[in-house]
């Protein structure tokens, strides 16, 4: 889909309005052109009118810096990695390429993450001020960083209940760890780690773009915004590093508790085998087919054997209890 965003007051940087009925005139007047899953015809139209080479989807996925940040024929190409999360699916990263050519910004994308929808709403507000393509790009990058900050807060909030489950000081809670669903806790930790990792990669893509854009001709206001954006990215990366360390600590602790659970099961099986070993021995002795076994002719021999089995089983059990092994 090809959408052109036109400023009602282009010289003053007023709010942008979307137009899906795109022709040569609207592309010429647009400040921002959005290509969402573009058809070959739409790509050819934009390439012909604006004289830019639209990267392919495979080219957008390349991870080396030379493929994400470069200049070609007077146009600046910046590919940002943005976190997207569909309902019922794990978070993923999608690439959005922005092309700054003249006084226009072109975006090429194949997904619609929340940060992009927030960006569209932001530039459409009456109080928005995006007089140039560079200011529009900075607004887009700021929106991505804001969304990444929200996701990191979500990760931090999700770790609190996990930590309480693992390290609760309540004695009843600690006793219930032996029967707790630690596998479910492990999945929660893994989901938090997965989201944190993808946010870090998104922040790194924005962080790499900042020094690259500093080579552009920026006025004082844009330089100030760029420095603020850079500080925000660095502070969020530090916070993401802290969360990653916390996630690793919780993961190690949870794996330790799973090992304790397994040891408790093995201990129970071991105690059961030791408790029932003497009765089994007694039953085996009296099950031998010898001709002369006095107890076989004794009237109370059967009850005597049962009582001996019970006593021999209770003895090891009481011993384990006294030692505190149960």
Q: What digits encode the pLDDT tens for the residues 290-324? A: 777 777 777 777 888 888 888 888 888 888 778 77
Q: Say what the pLDDT of residue 13 is.
A: 58
Q: Say what the pLDDT of residue 235 is.
A: 92
Are 155 and 243 spatial neighbours (Cβ–Cβ below 8 Å)? yes
Highest mean pLDDT among 69-83, 215-229, 234-248, 299-313: 234-248
Q: Look up tokens 């024929």; give the residue.
A: 73
The tokens for 124 are 């459409």
Q: How confident is the model at residue 174 (pLDDT cuts 50, 70, 90)?
A: very low
Q: Where in the chain is the domain with CATH 3.30.460.20?
A: 2-261
Kindly tell me if the per-residue pLDDT of 175 is higher than 70.
no
Lowest mean pLDDT among 155-164, 259-268, 279-288, 302-311: 259-268
The CA distance from 143 to 323, in Å, is 63
**2-261, CATH topology level:** Beta Polymerase; domain 2 (3.30.460)
Nearest one of 261, 256, 251, 259 to 159, comparing CA atoms = 251
Query: Do strands 32-36 and 2-7 pair parallel, antiparallel, or not at all (unpaired)?
Result: antiparallel
Q: Say what the pLDDT of residue 238 is.
A: 92
Kindly tell me if the per-residue pLDDT of 59 is higher than 80.
yes
Are 237 and 204 spatial neighbours (Cβ–Cβ below 8 Å)? yes
| pTM for the whole structure | 0.76
Kindly tell me if the per-residue pLDDT of 12 is higher than 60.
no
Does the structural domain 262-323 have CATH classification 1.20.58.340?
Answer: yes
Q: Where in the chain is the domain with CATH 1.20.58.340?
A: 262-323
């Amino acid at each position: 889909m090809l959408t052109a965003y036109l400023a009602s007051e282009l010289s003053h940087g007023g709010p942008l309005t979307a137009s899906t009925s795109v022709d040569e005139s609207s592309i010429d007047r647009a400040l921002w052109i959005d290509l969402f899953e573009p058809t070959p015809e739409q790509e050819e139209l934009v390439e012909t009118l604006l004289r830019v080479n639209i990267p392919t989807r495979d080219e957008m996925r390349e991870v080396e810096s030379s493929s994400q940040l470069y200049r070609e024929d007077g146009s600046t190409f910046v590919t940002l990695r943005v976190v997207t999360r569909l309902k019922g699916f794990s978070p993923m990263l999608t690439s959005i390429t922005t092309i700054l050519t003249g006084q226009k910004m072109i975006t090429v994308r194949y997904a619609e993450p929340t940060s992009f929808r927030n960006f569209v709403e932001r530039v459409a507000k009456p109080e928005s001020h995006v007089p140039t393509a560079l200011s529009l790009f900075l607004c887009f990058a700021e929106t991505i960083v804001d969304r990444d900050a929200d996701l990191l807060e979500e990760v931090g909030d999700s770790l609190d209940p996990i930590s309480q489950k693992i390290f609760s000081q309540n004695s009843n809670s600690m006793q219930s760890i032996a029967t707790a669903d630690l596998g479910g806790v492990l999945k929660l930790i893994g989901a938090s780690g997965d989201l944190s990792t993808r946010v870090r990669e998104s922040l790194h893509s924005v962080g790499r773009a900042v020094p690259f854009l500093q080579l552009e001709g920026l006025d004082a206001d844009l330089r100030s915004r760029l420095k603020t954006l850079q500080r925000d990215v660095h502070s969020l990366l530090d916070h993401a590093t802290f969360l990653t360390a916390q996630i690793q600590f919780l993961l190690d602790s949870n794996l330790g508790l799973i090992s304790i659970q397994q040891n408790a099961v093995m201990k129970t099986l071991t105690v059961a085998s030791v408790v029932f070993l003497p009765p089994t021995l007694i039953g085996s002795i009296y099950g031998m087919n010898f001709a002369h076994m006095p107890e076989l002719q004794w009237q109370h021999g059967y009850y005597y054997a049962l009582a001996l089995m019970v006593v021999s089983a209770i003895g090891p059990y009481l011993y384990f209890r006294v030692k505190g092994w149960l």
